[in-house]
Structure 1
């Protein structure tokens, strides 16, 4: 049950989108960012990705 198999993980940006983005402030200003995670990270919010095959069942 790692990020790479979770429905909330976007591999193209290595971001977890389970919760709302977090505020971040720097010298360039403020913005909101999704948490960056590695493919082999994990958490207690894991939900398996839904594939077309599973959705059809």
Structure 2
């Protein structure tokens, strides 16, 4: 039977459903569309440390097989 389980107990980026890890220490916040910033025509998501936090946190849930 499948069930959803929460990842982590702290409201930090690495436990957030919007966090896309680049490695074990940092990643991108995918809460909103990427920012196109300056005239480089490149769009980027904000880069942040895995232990950062913000007011937009939403729990990351994963499917667990029991």
Provide runs of 4+ in structure 1 moved above 3 Å. Answer: none
For this pair of structures, how many residues does the alignment match?
A: 52
TM-aligned CA deviation for residue 2 of structure 1:
0.4
Describe the superposition over 1:1-57 as per-residue Cα deviations: whole angstroms up to 9, x where unpaired: 10010000011260000001001225xx3211011011011000000101103xx8x
TM-score by length of 2: 0.68
In structure 2, list runs of 5 or more residues that go unmatched. 1-10
**Normalised by the size of structure 1, how large is the TM-score?**
0.78
Unaligned runs of 5+ in 1: none
- Structure with the bigger RCO (C-alpha within 8 Å, sep 6+) is 2
Q: CA RMSD in A?
A: 1.7
Question: Does 1:36 pair with 2:37?
Answer: no
1:22 maps to which residue?
35
